[in-house]
Amino acid sequence: MNNLSVSNLIGIKYLDKNDLNLIFQMATSFKEVINRPIKKVPSLRDFTIANLFFEDSTRTKLSFEIAEKRLSADLINFSISGSSIQKGESLLDTVNNILAMKVDMIVLRHPNPGAALYLTQKVDASVINAGDGTHEHPTQGLLDCYSLLEKFGSLKGKKIAIVGDITHSRVALSNVYALKKLGAEICLCSPKSLIPVNAQNLGVELSSNLLETLKWSDAVNMLRVQKERIDKTVIPDLRDYSLQYGLTKSLIEKLDKQIFILHPGPINRGIEITSEVADSDQAIILDQVENGVAVRMAVIYLLASKQKIVPNENYSS
């Protein structure tokens, strides 16, 4: 099957295993392309994408932008500072005005969970969710799984821990959905104040003990403490949090095996992970960033193929 089952990427929840495999297969082809001396393909000439970022971003924003350029798409970047949102214009009016300029696809990062889904109900263009509040960050979930697949070959039966601020993390939910569809076992490890009340319904293990969780794991995804979404009652003392849930070299040395270490970024060095660990050989954090471009090229290409005639360049390996 060469087509995604969806026309928008709102969350991993809405993808099936075939979709994941198709995206990963296409990402592998694009990873080969972007490691060539000429890193560009002409696939999306005459296709225009608007990157709308209503929240700060470094990795996701630049990664989408580079992915679009590598596909030869035209792109425009929008951020709220300096825009008419500051004068009270709504999200939908903003998007409709952008679409009137003959834009074909919207990439949206927004602080409100459900913002990307809302747009799909109001506009015809394809929408990619680049992170909606505490809900999902599907391309991050995809690139995390792709990076793990590069290391393990298959995720069936692999034990993956997701550690830290689960409640405020959109990365956690996208990872849980993707990893489960790929057959991994998952443990969410966090203080009780940072685990959502419905977490036991996700079909994952829950733990509050980092060392025990690490002993169980084949890989660990250390989440950023989302200071901008947290009030002091949930983490009264960041130093105490770091002592209990920060990943340090001494914890790693207590394990009788090597585990892979992921982090979606941006890193709070010295809080959820020390520099020594983040910069160690076991960390695949920059692999994640590199793979993000190929994965986003795959997502954009596959969604554009559903929406518009895109020349078949036969990038499938």
Binding site for ligand CP (CB under 6 A): 57-61, 131, 137, 140, 264-266
- Euclidean distance between the first and the last CA atom of the chain, given in angstroms as a whole number: 14
- Nearer to ligand CP by Cβ, of 131 and 138: the residue is 131
- Nearer to ligand CP by Cβ, of 110 and 137: the residue is 137
- Nearer to ligand CP by Cβ, of 21 and 57: the residue is 57
What is the token pair recorded at 66?
Answer: 């580079």
As measured in angstroms, the least distance from the Cβ of 310 to ligand CP is 26
The closest alpha carbon to 268, from 283, 281, 278, belongs to 278
E-state strands within 48-137: 48-53, 74-79, 105-110, 126-132
The closest alpha carbon to 13, from 116, 122, 164, 148, belongs to 116
**C-alpha to C-alpha distance for 312 and 317, rounded to whole angstroms:** 13
- Nearer to ligand CP by Cβ, of 262 and 310: the residue is 262
As measured in angstroms, the least distance from the Cβ of 118 to ligand CP is 20
Question: Biggest alpha carbon distance in the chain?
Answer: 59
As measured in angstroms, the least distance from the Cβ of 266 to ligand CP is 5
As measured in angstroms, the least distance from the Cβ of 113 to ligand CP is 15
As measured in angstroms, the least distance from the Cβ of 18 to ligand CP is 26
- Over its C-alpha atoms, the chain yields an Rg (Å, rounded) of 19
- Nearer to ligand CP by Cβ, of 29 and 60: the residue is 60
Looking up tokens 């002993």, which residue turns up?
Answer: 215
- Nearer to ligand CP by Cβ, of 120 and 169: the residue is 169
Strand partners of residue 127: 106
As measured in angstroms, the least distance from the Cβ of 1 to ligand CP is 29
With beta carbons less than 8 A apart as the criterion, state whether 182 and 176 touch.
Answer: no
**C-alpha to C-alpha distance for 69 and 41, rounded to whole angstroms:** 9
